[in-house]
Amino acid sequence: MIIPIRCFSCNRVIASDFRKFQKKMNEIREKRREPTPEEISNIMDDLGLEKYCCRRMILSHIELIDEIMPFS
């Protein structure tokens, strides 16, 4: 729903990195193609997300807040 502020496993702050991650992903999608796994990996490396616990937080997150908000 909303990206957790911190990684569940190591407690690193990840919420601020998620916005930057989404922005870079959208820049690639504007070129009318999906980002390749290597590009996604490079984006996370650039953001300093080195541990796989933090990477899974970003990768597996589905942003649903905009779809749920009308019903609250």
CA–CA dist 51, 37 (Å, integer): 17
- Nearest-10 crossing angle of helices 52-59, 15-29: 60
Q: Which is nearer to Zn ion, 23 or 51 (CB)?
A: 51
Asked if 7 and 57 count as a contact pair (C-beta separation under 8 A), the reply is yes
Cβ 27 to Zn ion shortest distance, Å: 25
Q: Which is nearer to Zn ion, 12 or 61 (CB)?
A: 12
Q: Which is nearer to Zn ion, 24 or 49 (CB)?
A: 49
Q: Which residues sit at the interface with Zn ion, rule CB under 5 A?
A: 7, 9-10, 12, 51, 53-54
